[in-house]
């Protein structure tokens, strides 16, 4: 064999070997990637949906619901105002240091007679105190407004609970209705199959099959509607409880856990002690009373006192040698001074009287609102308690109706197969079962909502 052909064959062998090695390496990399993907995939799939209870939903909503957070912000601002107005009644201490230069007049003195010298150095501590009844009234008003903001934040808290209860259990009921409609659609499909078999056997008329088919189509359309409602309520709850949009969660259906209602006397006592709306109206009246006091204080004098300690001299020194004195000697620049100013209001073109009149109008309005809040509390308490009682009493009846409807459908279907019932009876039994189960869920939601509304007046019981 010639060298040419020998080199060609060897080169082909080397090339084939290289291709083979590349293929093996590629397969090894693919296998490693597949193994890595298999290792990661179970971790991703194991992260199931987050289970949210009602308590979790309320806690999350308190951190994310903007109106509730706004009420807490107002409460925080009101607390800050209380601290600030209290500080206005107490003496405060400041330190100032400055240098004033004035053009001289040629004799060693300043050209501006208001200034003490050509060079003036100030380095002083100042204790400042204002004695005024207006400051006292401002502090009392701030405390009343803080109590008002606190009561409103409590109202927002209980109102948020009602909102979360409605959204949470609304989502639970929507899921129930979807499951009920799925069951109804499956039963309609099963009944349609039965009618087809009986028609083929000559036992029922073709009209029965048509009626069963219409029922099946209706249930399928209802299934689509309930699925849409389930998604809508789920998204509504997600918006309330999550800071970032998240659909990967499940809710807990605990609507069967029905707690007994306390007596009306207990509820009435709790409402008298824990009603934030009544506290808000009372705090608003106290704030209006202090507003009147603030307005009247503008007629009274105010005393301002200042105490200064430091240096106010032509040299920045504690001591200096004064050559202008005879004989020349050292003088002390460090010292103190005190001032007291009494300000007596005389005339302000009726501004103070207008403030008093406006504050009086606001106080009268606050009294009317407090009286109305007291009457409304009594009426709302009786209404909400009665509604809770009625909703709870209806639950047992609704549950029995759902059980009876299920048994009626079973017996009616058996009677139809035996030829003793009509297709209309079967369809009516199917619709009755669906309505009964949905009514049970609506009744449970009504009871939970009624209790949540009642607890806006009483607090948790």
The CATH number of the domain holding residue 252 is: 1.20.1600.10
- Whether 319 is in a domain gets the answer no
Return the number of other C-beta atoms located less than 10 Å from residue 297's C-beta. Answer: 21
17 with 80, same domain: the answer is no
H or E segment and range at residue 251: strand 249-251
267 with 407, same domain: the answer is yes
Q: Residue 342: beta bridge partners?
A: 303
200 with 166, same domain: the answer is yes
3-class SS of residue 116: coil
Whether 37 and 44 have beta carbons less than 8 Å apart is answered as no
391 with 440, same domain: the answer is yes
Mean of the per-residue pLDDT values of the chain: 86
Q: Which residue from 274, 246, 231, 229 is spatially nearest to 57, judged by alpha carbons? A: 246
Return the number of other C-beta atoms located less than 10 Å from residue 349's C-beta. Answer: 7
pLDDT tens string 258-270 = 888 999 999 999 9
Residue 49, Cβ density class (10 Å: 0-12 exposed, 13-18 middle, ≥19 buried):
exposed
Q: Are strands 319-322 and 329-332 parallel, antiparallel or unpaired?
A: antiparallel
- The predicted structure's pLDDT at residue 180: 94
- Whether 320 is in a domain gets the answer no
137 with 173, same domain: the answer is yes
- The predicted structure's pLDDT at residue 324: 67
Residue 312, Cβ density class (10 Å: 0-12 exposed, 13-18 middle, ≥19 buried):
middle
168 with 231, same domain: the answer is yes
Residues of the domain holding 37: 3-47
Low-confidence ranges of the chain (pLDDT < 50): 1-46
d(CA 163, CA 129): 50
368 with 438, same domain: the answer is yes
- Whether 61 is in a domain gets the answer yes
H or E segment and range at residue 119: strand 119-131
Domain count, the chain: 2
- The predicted structure's pLDDT at residue 47: 60
d(CA 5, CA 16): 16
- Whether 169 is in a domain gets the answer yes
181 with 36, same domain: the answer is no
Q: Could you tell me the two tokens for 21?
A: 């090695």
Q: State the pTM of this model.
A: 0.75
35 with 67, same domain: the answer is no
- The predicted structure's pLDDT at residue 345: 92
Q: Which residue from 303, 307, 359, 284 is spatially nearest to 133, judged by alpha carbons? A: 303
- Whether 356 is in a domain gets the answer yes
154 with 279, same domain: the answer is yes
Cα angle: 362, vertex 365, 368; to 5 degrees: 155
Which DSSP symbol is given to 412? H
- Whether 280 is in a domain gets the answer yes
Q: What is the largest CA-CA distance in the chain?
A: 143
Whether 76 and 150 have beta carbons less than 8 Å apart is answered as no
- The predicted structure's pLDDT at residue 320: 83
- Whether 309 is in a domain gets the answer no
Q: Could you tell me the two tokens for 195?
A: 């009618």
- The predicted structure's pLDDT at residue 128: 93
170 with 193, same domain: the answer is yes
Whether 444 and 257 have beta carbons less than 8 Å apart is answered as no
3-class SS of residue 364: helix
Q: Residue 92: beta bridge partners?
A: 128
d(CA 6, CA 302): 118
Whether 291 and 141 have beta carbons less than 8 Å apart is answered as yes
The residues, ordered by sequence, that sit 6+ positions from 95 with a Cβ below 8 Å of its Cβ are 124, 125, 126
Q: Are strands 302-313 and 334-343 parallel, antiparallel or unpaired?
A: antiparallel
- Whether 100 is in a domain gets the answer no
Q: Residue 122: beta bridge partners?
A: 98, 312
Q: What torsion do the CA atoms of 383, 389, 390, 396 make, to the nearest 10 degrees?
A: 170
Q: How far is CA 118 from CA 24, 108, 325, in A?
A: 96, 7, 18
Q: How far is CA 286 from CA 80, 282, 457, in A?
A: 19, 6, 21
26 with 62, same domain: the answer is no
């Amino acid at each position: 064999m010639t060298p040419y052909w020998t080199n060609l064959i060897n080169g082909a062998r080397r090339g084939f070997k290289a291709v083979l090695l590349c293929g093996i390496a590629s397969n090894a990399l693919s296998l490693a990637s597949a193994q890595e993907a298999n290792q990661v995939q179970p971790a991703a799939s194991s992260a199931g949906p987050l289970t949210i209870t009602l308590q979790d939903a309320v806690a999350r909503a308190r951190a994310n619901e903007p109106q509730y957070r706004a009420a807490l912000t107002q409460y925080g601002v009101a607390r800050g105002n209380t601290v600030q107005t209290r500080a206005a009644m107490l003496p405060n201490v400041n330190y100032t240091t400055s240098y004033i230069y004035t053009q001289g007049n040629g004799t060693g003195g300043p050209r501006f007679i208001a200034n003490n010298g050509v060079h003036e150095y100030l380095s002083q501590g100042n204790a400042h105190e204002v004695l005024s009844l207006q400051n006292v009234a401002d502090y009392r008003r701030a405390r009343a407004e803080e109590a008002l903001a606190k009561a409103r934040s409590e109202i927002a808290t209980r109102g948020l609970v009602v909102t979360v209860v409605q959204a949470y259990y609304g989502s639970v009921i929507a899921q129930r209705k979807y499951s009920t409609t799925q069951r109804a659609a499956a039963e309609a499909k099963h009944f349609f199959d039965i009618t087809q078999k009986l028609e083929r056997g000559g036992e029922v008329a073709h009209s029965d099959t048509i009626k069963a088919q219409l029922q099946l189509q209706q249930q399928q359309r209802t299934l689509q509607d309930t699925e849409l409602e389930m998604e809508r309520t789920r998204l509504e709850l997600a918006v309330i409880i999550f800071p970032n949009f998240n659909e990967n969660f499940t809710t807990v259906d605990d609507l069967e856990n029905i707690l007994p209602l306390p007596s009306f006397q207990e509820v009435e006592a709790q409402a008298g002690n824990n009603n934030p709306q009544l506290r808000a109206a009372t705090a608003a009246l106290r704030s209006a009373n202090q507003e009147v006091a603030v307005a009247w204080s503008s007629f009274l004098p105010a005393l301002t006192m200042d105490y200064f300690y430091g240096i106010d001299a032509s040299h920045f020194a504690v001591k200096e040698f004064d050559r202008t004195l005879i004989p020349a000697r050292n003088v002390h620049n460090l010292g103190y001074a005190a001032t007291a100013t009494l300000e007596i209001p005389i005339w302000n073109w009726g501004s103070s009287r207008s403030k008093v009149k406006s504050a009086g109008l606001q106080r009268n309005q606050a009294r009317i609102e407090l009286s109305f809040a007291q009457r409304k509390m009594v009426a709302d308490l009786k209404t909400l308690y009665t509604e809770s009682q009625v909703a709870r009493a209806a639950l047992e009846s609704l549950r029995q109706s759902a059980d009876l409807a299920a048994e009626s459908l079973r017996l009616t279907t058996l009677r139809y197969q035996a030829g003793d019932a009509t297709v209309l009876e079967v369809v009516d039994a199917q619709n009755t079962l669906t309505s009964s189960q949905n009514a049970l869920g609506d009744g449970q939601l009504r009871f939970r909502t009624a209790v949540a509304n009642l607890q806006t007046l009483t607090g948790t019981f």
